[in-house]
């Protein structure tokens, strides 16, 4: 089943963020999975409606409760999976490689990121993993990219510069195991342009993540 451009943008952008693909056939077939906390139910259902024709008649978003190990509190979240689809193999091959040491598939930033990172895909990436730096004090924004390697993050950095002339900085993030990883910081000098670039594609419940240019949020 061929994907629409909207579906491609959603999948590409969210695979840079919280979205993931899963395979149980050694990479021959893939399905897409989305999860959002209950406060972002509207955003989860936006993804579902766009990908609904890949889900089949019996697949609908479901709410469940899990223990958040970071806070040791139970949280509610919504999720859905598509069915396996041959069209998703293109993205599986692009984003994933099998790590024989870890015995699992690992996600990486595609070499061809500049081909697919249009403004709508960038908006989905930011809605998934973006945040204000300091509400009330700064118009800067950040993207939580610490799950990617430094090489991957530089690939994103170069794409933003080459495609949109957006200059970004990298900030350190120390993980629980002591490892130092990096996040993307969109500084104040770039925040207005970045906001206007993604603004047409923002889902209402995710606008709080985006600076309004006056130290508040949209």
Residue 163 covered by a domain: yes
Any idea what the Cα angle at residue 122 is, between residues 34 and 69, rounded to 5°? 40
Domain boundary among 52, 72, 107: 107
Is the alpha carbon torsion for 127, 130, 131, 133 positive or negative? negative
* Percent share of the chain, pLDDT over 70: 100
What range defines the domain where residue 84 resides? Answer: 5-107
Note the residue count of the chain.
Answer: 218
Q: Report the alpha-carbon distance of residue 17 to residue 114 in Å, rounded.
A: 16
Place of tokens 């006056």: 214
Q: List, for residues 42-52, the tens digit of each pLDDT value.
A: 999 999 999 99
User: Whole-prediction pTM value?
Assistant: 0.95
Residues 100 and 159 in one domain: no
Domain boundary among 107, 142, 165: 107
- Evaluate whether 12 touches 120 at the Cβ level (below 8 Å): no
Q: Report the alpha-carbon distance of residue 25 to residue 95 in Å, rounded.
A: 16
Q: List, for residues 36-73, the tens digit of each pLDDT value.
A: 999 999 999 999 999 999 998 889 999 999 887 777 88
């Amino acid at each position: 089943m061929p994907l629409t451009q909207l579906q491609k943008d959603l999948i590409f952008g969210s695979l840079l963020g919280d979205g993931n693909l899963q395979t149980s056939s050694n990479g021959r077939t893939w399905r897409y999975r989305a999860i959002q906390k209950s406060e972002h139910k509207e955003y989860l259902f936006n993804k579902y409606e766009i990908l609904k024709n890949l889900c089949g008649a019996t697949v609908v978003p479901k709410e469940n409760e899990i223990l958040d190990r970071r806070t040791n509190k139970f949280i509610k979240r919504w999720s859905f999976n598509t069915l396996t689809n041959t069209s998703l193999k293109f993205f599986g091959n692009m984003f994933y490689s099998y790590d024989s040491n870890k015995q699992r598939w690992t996600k990486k930033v595609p070499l061809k990121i500049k081909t697919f990172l249009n403004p709508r895909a960038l908006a989905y990436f930011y809605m998934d993993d973006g945040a204000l730096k300091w509400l009330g004090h700064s118009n800067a924004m950040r993207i939580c990219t610490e799950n990617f390697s430094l090489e991957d993050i530089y690939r994103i950095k170069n794409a933003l510069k080459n495609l949109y002339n957006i200059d970004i900085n990298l900030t350190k993030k120390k993980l629980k195991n002591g490892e130092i990883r990096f996040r993307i910081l969109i500084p104040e000098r770039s925040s207005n342009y970045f906001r206007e670039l993604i603004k047409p594609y923002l889902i209402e419940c995710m606008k709080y993540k985006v600076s309004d240019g006056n130290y508040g949020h949209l």
